[in-house]
Structure 1
Amino acid sequence: MISYEVTAFGEPLVRTERETPVPTGDQVLVRIEAAGVCHSDLHIWHGEYDLGNGKKLSMADRGMKLPLTMGHEIAGEVIAVGPDAKGVEVGKKYVVFPWHGCGQCKVCKRGDENLCLAGKSMGVYQPGGYADHVLVSHAYYLVDIGDMPPERAAPYACSGLTTYSAIKKIDPQVFKDEKIVLFGAGGLGLMAILLMKAMGGAGVVVVEPDASKHEAALKAGADTVIDPKSPTFLADVKAAAGGAVWAIIDCVGSSQTVQAGIDLLTKGGHLVQIGLFGGHVDLPTPTHAIRALTYQGTYVGNLRDLQELIQLVKDKNLSPVPTTCMHFSKAFTALLALEQGKAVGRLVLTPEGEAA
């Protein structure tokens, strides 16, 4: 088995070869056919998140150990199962739910493993998808993708799941009545646009400074795209949203986007933050209550959400996000392209194509 590992934070990934694991108990061995390269992989690779005001959140302090095979957007074929594994078939293709918890606490037993305080997420605390095989700890973490191409299915494990879970947090009546403001038209943003259209939303107003991404946002179904560098930015967004901004999904999560979102919201408005870009904001406590604002973070989603999402994609025949496939050996090249803002849509590693 070949994997591409982080052996030192911020350094090039290292190609490693070892014995292919053999599943035991409830475990399942998946031959990986697609592994998405996610923006959060950049934070994992650097080993930290920016908390603003010069503060950092260390991944090592949170229990992440090196060497690490990153990659949490995984789809492929089951090629072997442990003797106790049930509900999956050798030869079938699945997307992997990577957000594992301890499996024993009240949170996990409620089905919210993604919120477990002793999380064991694949590609973070256990080996992930930047490899040709991966061992999944239990068969129930696999979701059948049918005949969906793996390179299309893989991003639903994070990009799709995260945006789907965020959309579900918006009041359903607001979602049907009001245009949603969306910060960011990268891979997450484009996924959010497609899902909001498929889920019957009233419309999407996208805020994106990179002009090269505007066309992709409009093609995905955005009503309009607004450049935040415009001197009339706030007024333009409010006008495009119908006069008042009731709900915002922030796929960036920087000091600037969160502050702009809070400033834009009408009384009773709701901001859901997905993005992990980093930064810090100050919120005046009296006006937060007087304006009855909701500022909510969301972290990926649970297994039920992923199952619902895959069914929605099948039922609606959802168009895929623009995707660039690269050979697994180019994992580090893909990371750098993402860091430099050169990616439109999603970057996905596959065993096909020219190796590095």
Structure 2
Amino acid sequence: MKSYEVCECGAPLQLREQPTPEPAGTEVLLEVTAAGICHSDIHFWEGVYDIGGGKVMKLADRGLKLPLRLGHENVGRVVKAGPEARGVNVGDLRLVYPWIGCGECAVCRRGDEQLCLKPQFVGAFRPGGFSDHILVPHPRYLIDYGDLAPEQAAPLACSGVTAYGALKKFGDLLKAEPVVIIGAGGLGLMALAILRAMEAKGAIVIDIDAKKREAAMKAGALAVVDGRAVDAVAQVQAIVNDRIWAVVDFVGSGSTVSLGTDLLTKGGHLVVVGLFGGEITMPTPYIPMRAMTIQGSYTGSLPELHELIALLRKTPMPYMPVDVRPLDSVNASLNDLKDGNVIGRVVLAPN
């Protein structure tokens, strides 16, 4: 089995050859056919998150160990199953749900494994899909993705369910008011696609990159605004007659979160998804006086991924740019994503 692994944080991933694992118990072995690259992979690769004020959070302190095989957006073909694996057959094509918890705590039992305090995430705490094979602990984490192309299905495991989980937090507001999306990277473009599938009101997209704003318009944005414009808030307010009820921030920097709160009308709702890093300061009376909701959203649950797949099997997947590359391009691809040179999603094709 050939894999690319992080052996030193920030250094190029190394090609390693190891025996292909044999599934035991409920485990299932898949041959990887598509593996998406996500901004979280950049953080895992570098080993730190910027938490503002010149401070960083080291992922080693949270249990991540080297060597680390990245890749949490995976589609594969079942090649072997352990003797206790039920409901899966050799040859099945499946999407892997990566946000696995301990399976025993109250959070896991209620279906929110992505929030478990003892995570077993694929591509972080378990070996991921930057490889030609991947071992999954139980068939329940394997999802039939229907007629979607593998390269379109793979990003749904993170980009898709993360965007869907964030958008769901606005509830019925999606049908009544346009959402403001900050960031037209893979998550922002995925959100536009999902909003169209949900028959929502639509979205105004803010991004500092002209190419990404162009991609957002192609993906169905109602309008786009340059986030570096001194009058960015006024431009958005002019589009929606001053009242902005819902903002989702897929960047998550200090400046974008501040922009999101500036945009909100009284009673508005900001959902922060991105992990770019930084910090904000805000007069605390503003929170109750403006009756604003500032809410975090972390990936999405297994039930939400099932909901999303069901939605996209019923409604054809709208435009979402995907660049398919060979597995051995992983280092160049990570650097392209880090440098902001990717429109949409890069998906590696090991086989």
Give the TM-score taking structure 1 as reference length: 0.97
1:172-200 residue CA offsets vs partner (Å, 9 max, x unmatched): 1x211111000011111000011112112
Residue matched to 1:183: 182
Partner Cα distance (2:271, 2:66) in 1: 32
* Secondary structure in structure 1 of the residue aligned to 2:268: strand
Contact 1:181 1:241 in 2 (8 A): no
Please tell me whether the aligned partners of residues 179 and 242 of structure 1 are also in contact (alpha carbons under 8 angstroms).
no
- Give the letter for the 1:350 counterpart: A
1:20 is displaced (CA, Å) by 0.4
Secondary structure at 1:268 match in 2: coil
Q: CA deviation at 1:42?
A: 0.4
Query: Post-superposition shift, 1:216?
Result: 1.1
Could you give the per-residue CA deviations for residues 211-259 of structure 1, whole angstroms, max 9, x where no partner exists? 0112210111100000122222111111223321100010000001000
Cα distance in 2 for residues equivalent to 1:122 and 1:242: 44
| Shift, 1:348, TM fit | 0.4
The 8 Å contact of residues 37 and 349 in structure 1, kept in 2 or not, is answered as yes
Match of 1:121?
Answer: 121
Offset of residue 143 of structure 1? 0.4
- Aligned residues between the structures: 351
Q: In the alignment, which residue of structure 2 is the partner of 1:273? A: 272
SS at match of 1:69: coil
Q: Deviations over 1:286-340 (max 9, x none)?
A: 1111111100000001100001111111110112510111111111111000011
Query: Greater CA deviation, 20-29 or 211-220?
Result: 211-220
In structure 1, stretches of 5+ residues that fail to align are none
1:222 aligns with: 221
Q: Deviations 1:24-51 (Å, cap 9, x if unpaired)?
A: 1100001000000001100100000000
Paired residue type of 2:320: V
Task: Indicate the residue corresponding to 1:93 in structure 2.
Answer: 93
Query: Which runs of 5 or more residues in structure 2 are unaligned?
Result: none
The 5 A counterparts of 1:209-288 are 209-288=208-287
Report how far residue 89 of structure 1 moved: 1.8
Letter in 2 for 1:282: T
Task: Assess if the C-alpha contact under 8 Å between 2:130 and 2:327 holds in 1.
Answer: yes
- Aligned counterparts, 1:1-356, within 5 A: 1-172=1-172, 174-351=173-350
Contact 2:197 2:317 in 1 (8 A): yes
In the TM superposition, residue 135 of structure 1 has moved relative to its aligned partner by: 0.3
Runs of 4 or more consecutive aligned structure 1 residues displaced over 2 Å after TM superposition:
none
Which stretch has the larger CA shift, 83-92 or 136-145? 83-92
TM value normalised by structure 2: 0.98
RMSD over equivalenced CA pairs, Å = 0.9
* 1:51-72 CA-partner distances (Å, limit 9, x unpaired): 0101111100000000010010
Q: Following TM superposition, by how much is the alpha carbon of 1:147 offset from its aligned partner in structure 2, in angstroms?
A: 2.9
Secondary structure of the structure 2 residue equivalent to 1:61: helix
Report the Cα distance in structure 2 between the residues aligned to 1:51 and 1:68, rounded to whole angstroms. 22
Question: Quick check: 2:72–2:123 contact (8 Å CA) kept in 1?
Answer: yes
User: Alignment identity in percent?
Assistant: 50
- In structure 1, distance between residues paired with 2:147 and 2:19: 30
Cα separation, 2, equivalents of 1:270 and 1:120: 31
Q: Distance in 1 between matches of 2:23 and 2:36?
A: 24
Deviation at 1:137, TM superposition (A): 0.6
Whole-Å Cα distance in 2 between the matches of residues 65 and 8 of structure 1?
Answer: 10
Distance 1:235 1:146 in 2: 43
Letter in 1 for 2:238: A
